[in-house]
Structure formats: C-alpha cells, structure tokens
Amino acid sequence: MANQITRYYKESDYMIFFDQATGMFVRYGRNNVDPFHNASGPELLDIAISNYCERECEFCYRRSNRQGKFMPLEDYGLAMAQAKNVGVLQVALGGGNPNQHPQFIEILKMTRDHGIVPSYTTNGQGMTEAVYEATKKYCGAMAVSWYAPYLEAQELIDRAKRYQIKTNIHFLLGQNTVAEAIDLIQNRHDILEKINALVFLNYKPIHSPESLCLRDSEDVKRLFGLLGQLKTCKIGFDSCMISYLPLMGPELALETVEFCEAGRFSAYISEDLMLYPCSFINDISKNGVDLRTRTLGDGWRNGEEFIMAREKLRTPGTQNQPISACKTCESYAFCRGGCQFFNVNRCRD
C-alpha cells in the first residue's frame, strides 16, 4: 500500500488515486462532476533537463541540437523541492535527449527521493547498461521515439524488455506520417507485442512548416478505424489529439479522455528553469515564470500564461479562443476547443 496515494483536494473538490507501481491514475469529482483544474498545483510536470540532441531533426518542436545546454543538477534539485511542496505526483523528463544528461541517473534518483515518479522519452542515443538499470529501479516507464531509421529504436525496445522496463512508443503524427502509422499497426506486430502502449503525439508547427500538420482525410479515418480494433498493445494520445478522437467511434471509452491539461493539471519547466503551462509554448512566449525568483505554486496560481490558458479552456467563444465556432459546437463539452495555441485541430474556423 506504500506505493498507493489517495488525496482529496479541498479547494478544487476532487479526489485522486495514484498507484506508483503500476501507473494507474484515477481522478474523480464530487457528484460525478469532472474537476476543471487543481488549484493547489500540477499533478504532472514535463521537465526539459536538456536541449542537447545529436540528431537535430527538422521537425523538432524545440530545435534541439548538439549545442543544446543541460539543466544544472542544482536547478533540478530546486525544481524537485518546489514540486514536492505543491504535491506533484509524476515527472516526464524530456529535452533534447534526456538520458544524455551527464547526471541523468542522479536526476532519476533525486526525483524518487522526493516521492515523485519519473519517466522519460529517448531516441536511443547514449543508452548504457547503467541507464537501463537506473530506469528499471526508479522509473515508472520509458518511451521510445519512433521514426526512421528504426533499427536503433527496435534494439532499444528489445533491451528494455530484457530489463522488464515498461516501454511505450511515442509516434509523432503529422500529414506526412499517417501512412507510416498505418504500416506500423498493420505490419509490425512483432514490435507492438513487446511494448506497453503506442502513444500518438500531434505534430506542432513551431520551428517547422504548418503544412505538415495533421489534416482530416480518408487515410486518417482509416488509421483511427485500425486503432479502434488494435488489441496487441494499449493505445494512447497526447491531449493535443483530442479533436481527432471521435474518429475512434464506439471503441473510445469517454471516461479515459481528458481535454488539454495545460495549466489545469500539468505544467512544463524548461532547461533554464522557466515555468509554462505546456512545453509547446516555450519558444513562442515571453511570459514564463522564472523559478529562481518565484515559486512553482505562485507561478501556477498567478502566472500570466497560466491564467490565460485556463480562461481559454473554461469558456467557449471567448475573445482569446482561436476557434470561435466552439461557442455553438455540440462537441465542445468533449474537446473544449482542442489545442488553444496552434492550428493543429481537426476542426477549422
């Protein structure tokens, strides 16, 4: 039972149950009313401990490269102390390629020492036996970025399986990768049977063309039809995909769906210790909260971007909301306008 956490957030009037060992998480409000946000602080933090990456992919939303810097361990310790203070449950480590941080294993241990469960996403570069062992010891899960060339990702999945590490595939879904996703689902059951979940991330046009954004099409409908029938592994989506999820049809369990959590239940910390509602606005906003001068709790409650994100998601058709048709849309209660920052939604105004 030591791994199981139950909390009641009085100010927001809801409860959570979280099993640190299995990753099972349940959030439920009084009288079956879904809570809008946690006034106390985020349940999940997405933390970029590095912007270093050897691959320098053109589609990278952070434009990570070989000159990318690493978050000092002292800064990470400050972030963890503040995270523990506001009751954070989980941390997703990213970058860049996080496992190439020179103090990565210490970061994993420090996270657990603060009572928080870490996970991370890797492209496979720089994985060592010590990293696999630390992942098994400290992490809830590990995700593998899936894109060509695939051999390194396949080897990574095989090695993680030998260590009995819960492993997911993160698949970036855009206009140019739909056919690739269909091929993975139809023809690579040898890979899918080795993983816990296949998770789709909606492409974000931050440092790369908007023309690559996912668009509704017959191929997209076919993809979601296949996903609704897939039994080999679990299926997941980032919340930016929510406007496409009705394509799953009756196979979709509505109680498993959550609209954008940015500023409501999750937040992002950059490698230079700046706090934002989500990682995708790191490079487009000047209004991050500096955690060297303000606390995470203060930034969560009073940060300009956090207040604006919650306002956009709280009421349809506000002047700040990008899709004005949300005001009269019968599906608004399901998706709450999708992504509020980028033109990545299935619906268009």
Confidence of residue 280 (pLDDT cuts 50, 70, 90): confident
**% pLDDT > 70, the chain:** 96
Q: Is residue 309 part of a domain?
A: yes
Residues 31 and 159 in one domain: no
Residues 234 and 164 in one domain: yes
Residues 155 and 24 in one domain: no
Higher-confidence residue of 256 and 297: namely: 297
The 3-state DSSP class for residue 164 equals coil
**Res 18 pLDDT > 60:** yes
Residues 209-236 as b or e (16 or more Cβ within 10 Å = b):
eeebbbeeeeebeebbeebeeeeebebb
Please tell me what DSSP assigns to residue 52. B
**Res 111 pLDDT > 60:** yes
Please tell me what DSSP assigns to residue 128. -
Q: Is residue 163 part of a domain?
A: yes
Range of the domain at 311: 40-335
Residues 214 and 87 in one domain: yes
pLDDT of residue 303: 96
pLDDT of residue 2: 65
What angle in degrees, to the nearest 10, is found between the helix axes of 129-138 and 151-162?
A: 60
Higher-confidence residue of 30 and 171: namely: 171
Q: Is residue 342 part of a domain?
A: no
Residues 290 and 203 in one domain: yes
Higher-confidence residue of 63 and 157: namely: 157
Residues 67 and 134 in one domain: yes
Number of domains in the chain: 2
Q: Is residue 343 part of a domain?
A: no
- Interval 94-115 mean pLDDT: 96
CATH at residue 192: 3.20.20.70
Residues 6 and 63 in one domain: no
CA of 110: how far to CAs of 75, 89, 115, 192, in Å? Answer: 12, 14, 9, 32
Residues 193 and 250 in one domain: yes
Cα gap 203→284, rounded to integer Å: 16
Residues 97 and 63 in one domain: yes
The separation between the first and the last C-alpha atoms of the chain, rounded to the nearest angstrom, is: 49
Residues 118 and 192 in one domain: yes
**Res 283 pLDDT > 90:** no
The 3-state DSSP class for residue 119 equals strand
Mean pLDDT of the chain: 92
**Res 37 pLDDT > 80:** yes
Residues 264 and 304 in one domain: yes
Q: Is residue 348 part of a domain?
A: no
Residues 27 and 48 in one domain: no
**% pLDDT > 90, the chain:** 71
Is beta strand 14-19 parallel, antiparallel or unpaired with respect to 90-94?
unpaired
pLDDT of residue 167: 97
Confidence of residue 343 (pLDDT cuts 50, 70, 90): confident
Is beta strand 44-48 parallel, antiparallel or unpaired with respect to 90-94?
parallel
Q: Is residue 349 part of a domain?
A: no
Please tell me what DSSP assigns to residue 318. -
Q: Is residue 147 part of a domain?
A: yes
Please tell me what DSSP assigns to residue 98. G
Q: Is residue 346 part of a domain?
A: no
Is beta strand 14-19 parallel, antiparallel or unpaired with respect to 25-29?
antiparallel
pLDDT of residue 333: 79
